[in-house]
Structure 1
Amino acid sequence: MMKKILVIGLCGLWMPPASAVYFDSIIYDMDARKDFISRPLVNDTKSTNLYTISAYKISRPGNGNERPVPGQDKDLVWSPLQFIVQANGQEYFKLYYRGPKDAVERYYRVIFKETPVTIFPWRQDQKKLNVVPSVSMSTILIVRPRKTRFQYEINEATGTIKNTGNTYFRVILQKGCNGDD
């Protein structure tokens, strides 16, 4: 039994690296002044793949408490619905926001389903199945409020920054004028 476990473990060490779809970011944000964004999708595999895009609104990303928001499926549309990317190729997709132009930040889970394009030879014996793996990967889209309010409070005593506005912001800490970010 131990020999089997050792052999299986050693086989895992010599596996070739996995290749799949590549995104330039796992979180996309749409500026308040824009109605769409365009991003590249890179197929770094050795085969041509078919990609299908879908999306749904979520209450808030992170912490495993992500809940879909029903009835909001027309606020975000995408193009193309499906597209083929050659091996080691790249194509662009667009996400269009058509929802309310108010002071609320919105979040969407965008899912990319990757399926290899495979041609199976015709066989006399139709009882055998051909299996094609399909992989789904997802990103988050943050749509900034159309009426953006950047606001924060700094508490120097506790060393905290509190976001009191209606959209997120990034904080970059630097150790003095000559320090690294």
Structure 2
Amino acid sequence: MKISISIILLVLINITTASALDVGDISSFMNYNNNTLSKEIKNTTENGRLINIRIERLSSPLEGGEVIPMDNKQEILLTPSSILLPANSSDIVRFIYHGPEDAQERYYRIEWMDQALTDLKKNGSTRNAIATASARIGTILVVAPRKVNFNYEFKNNKIVNTGNATLRVIAYGPCIHSAEVNECKENYYLMPGKTREFSKVNVLDKKGKVALWQGENFIPVK
């Protein structure tokens, strides 16, 4: 799924150097009716990679969000936390939520420390794998409230998330400005309490369409 550069979650990507590790989507969502999430990672190179993973809670995925304490030590677990990936291989990392069953959405930053492994000969015969620094990648995990309340308001050219869980909003139809393109499309994540005004699609036109995802449910709005 392609994600617009304006999506709120993009601001938290942190790549120190080019990485050979493919961690999939920048943002992952654990729905309100699931306590686990599996994420596939891939090593697309001809060399082994050592991957170390850590997770921390954020006050917000927006710019300016701060690291905050977990509600308890077992709030969110991951397994495994360290993986040795052979060349051109993949593995699964599993995240498990044990936090409060309340009405609050929670945000976590996952840091993937990616190191290349090189083989060096020692004493003429022994081969040792040496990890060399490569890259750090930051992605976001959003855990929907266990007591979820999906709600929204749509009026004129704006949609407001009046519930307590992030919505994925889609709009498509006639363009507002461009005369060269027949149809435009917008795709956004909308956090609780946030408002979005459509900038490309003329949603006031009768051919303009707006829809959203509430967890796994697709909801036509207009």
- Contact in 1 for aligned 2:59/2:66 (Cα 8 Å): yes
- Contact in 2 for aligned 1:19/1:45 (Cα 8 Å): no
The answer to whether 1:170 aligns with 2:161 is no
Q: Any gaps of 5 or more consecutive residues in structure 1?
A: 1-17, 124-129
Cα distance in 1 between the residues matched to 2:66 and 2:183: 40
Using a 3 Å threshold, how does the CA distance of structure 1 residues 132 and 154 change in structure 2: closer, same or farther? same
Deviation by residue 1:85-115 (Cα, 9 ceiling, x = unmatched): 1111111110111100110000000111111
CA offset at residue 116 of structure 1? 1.8
RCO higher in 1 or 2 (8 Å CA, sep ≥ 6)? 1
- Contact in 2 for aligned 1:19/1:44 (Cα 8 Å): no
In terms of fraction of residues, the more strand-rich structure is: 2
Question: Which residue number in structure 2 is paired with residue 90 of structure 1?
Answer: 90
CA offset at residue 74 of structure 1? 2.9
TM-score, with structure 1 as normaliser: 0.77
Using a 3 Å threshold, how does the CA distance of structure 1 residues 116 and 149 change in structure 2: closer, same or farther? same
- Contact in 2 for aligned 1:40/1:91 (Cα 8 Å): yes
- Contact in 1 for aligned 2:116/2:131 (Cα 8 Å): no
Cα distance in 1 between the residues matched to 2:27 and 2:70: 23
Q: Any gaps of 5 or more consecutive residues in structure 2?
A: 1-17, 124-129, 175-181, 186-222
- Contact in 1 for aligned 2:152/2:163 (Cα 8 Å): yes
The answer to whether 1:70 aligns with 2:65 is no
CA offset at residue 19 of structure 1? 5.2
Deviation by residue 1:7-28 (Cα, 9 ceiling, x = unmatched): xxxxxxxxxxx55111220000
> Residue 95 of structure 2 aligns to a residue in which SS?
strand
The answer to whether 1:142 aligns with 2:142 is yes
Question: Which residue number in structure 2 is paired with residue 15 of structure 1?
Answer: none
Q: What amino acid maps onto 1:76 in structure 2?
A: I
Question: Which residue number in structure 2 is paired with residue 57 of structure 1?
Answer: 57
Deviation by residue 1:120-177 (Cα, 9 ceiling, x = unmatched): 3337xxxxxx882232111100000011111111222xx111111001111111217x
Superposition RMSD on alpha carbons, in Å? 2.1
The answer to whether 1:46 aligns with 2:46 is yes
Larger radius of gyration: 1
TM-score, with structure 2 as normaliser: 0.64
- Contact in 2 for aligned 1:39/1:92 (Cα 8 Å): yes
> Residue 172 of structure 1 aligns to a residue in which SS?
strand
> Residue 149 of structure 1 aligns to a residue in which SS?
coil
Using a 3 Å threshold, how does the CA distance of structure 1 residues 172 and 131 change in structure 2: closer, same or farther? closer
Cα distance in 1 between the residues matched to 2:41 and 2:131: 25
Q: Percent identity?
A: 31
CA offset at residue 44 of structure 1? 1.1
